[in-house]
Structure 1
C-alpha cells in the first residue's frame, strides 16, 4: 500500500513538475518534505487540503488511496495553468503552447487593467 508521501509524489510526477517547484508553490520546506518521505512526519490537515485542491485530487485518495466507498479513485482533470499560481478549475482539451501563452498573456493584461483601475479610483 502506498504512503501519503508516495501518492503526493505520484501527483507531482503526473503534473510534470519538480519536487522543489511543488514545495515552493505550496510553501513547504524541503526539510518537511524530506521528513514526509522518511515517514518521520506527515502533512497536517490544512496542508493536505491545500495539496488536494492544488492537484484536484480527493482527500480520500491522498490519505487512503481510495474513495469513501473503498474503491481506488482519484479525480482527474487537465492541469491548467501550466504550473503557474492561480490554477483554474476547468477541464478541456489539451492546449498548444501558443494557446497557453495567449491565455497567460491575457490574464496578465487583465491583472494590469485591474491594478490601473484601482490606482485611478484611489487618486480621485
Structure 2
C-alpha cells in the first residue's frame, strides 16, 4: 500500500508536505507511510479516499481505478462542500454566496456575458 500512496501523491503532483496539509496530518507520517515504516490506519485511508476521491479498493489492494469517477453534479456538489469547509472569508466561499443570491434575471445576464466571452475568444482565434 505504501507504493500506491506514493503513486497517488505523485499523480496529484503534491509534495509530502502539501499532501499532509490537505489531510491535516504531519509530513513525517506521510514519509513513514510511503517507506512502509508505518501502516496506514483505516481512519487515514478513509480520510485519503474522501479528500482526494480515491477508490479505496485501489488504495488497499491495487485493484480497479485509482480515482472514483463522479458525475458532473457530484463534482459540483463536492466542490461546493469543500469550499464551504474553508476559512470564513475565502474567495471561493464569498463567490458561492454571491452566486446563491442571484435571481433569475441575474442568471440570464451572467449567461449573456459568458456567451459574449466565448464569442470573443472564438473571434480572436487565428484562422488556419
Calculate the TM-score normalised by the size of structure 1: 0.54
Report how far residue 31 of structure 1 moved: 2.0
Give the number of equivalent residue pairs: 85
CA gap 1:9/1:77 in 2 versus in 1, 3 angstroms? farther
Cα RMSD between the aligned structures? 3.1
Q: Paired residue for 1:8, among 5, 9, 21?
A: 5
In the alignment, structure 1 segments of 5+ residues that lack a partner are: 67-71, 79-87, 92-103, 113-124
In the alignment, structure 2 segments of 5+ residues that lack a partner are: 77-89, 99-128
Please list every run of at least 4 consecutive aligned residues from structure 1 whose deviation after the TM superposition is greater than 4 angstroms.
none
Structure number having the greater helix percentage: 2
Q: Paired residue for 2:45, among 44, 48, 55?
A: 48
Bigger Rg, structure 1 or 2: 2
Calculate the TM-score normalised by the size of structure 2: 0.52
